[in-house]
């Protein structure tokens, strides 16, 4: 199963990607903000798109 089949929404803010999709257990929408830089490894899950967007905009990647 491809990434775009799992997530219903995909957005980018700089090096950070924001994806949204249904939770497997409850079926509620959940959002993940994750950095795409090779050695960063930062990611975080949120209940709202707005919270994920704030986290994505505030992320300062240590890998440059």
Please give the mean pLDDT across all residues of the chain.
85
- pLDDT > 90? residue 25: no
Q: What span, in angstroms and rounded, lies between the C-alpha atoms of 23 and 44?
A: 14
Residue 8 has pLDDT above 80, yes or no: no
Please give the average per-residue pLDDT across 55-64, as a whole number: 89
Indicate the pTM of the whole model: 0.77
Which position has the higher pLDDT, 36 or 4? 36
Compute the residue count for the chain: 64
Cα distance between residue 24 and residue 20, in whole Å? 12
> Each residue of 36-50: pLDDT tens digit?
888 998 999 999 999
Q: Is 24 helix (H, G, I), strand (E, B) or coil?
A: coil
At 20, give phi and psi (nearest 5°): -130, 145
């Amino acid at each position: 199963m491809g990434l775009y089949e799992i997530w219903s929404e995909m957005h980018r803010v700089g090096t950070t990607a924001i994806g949204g999709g249904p939770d497997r257990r409850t079926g509620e929408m959940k959002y993940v903000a994750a950095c795409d830089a090779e050695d960063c490894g930062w990611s975080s899950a949120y209940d709202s798109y707005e919270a994920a967007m704030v986290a994505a905009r505030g992320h300062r990647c240590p890998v440059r």
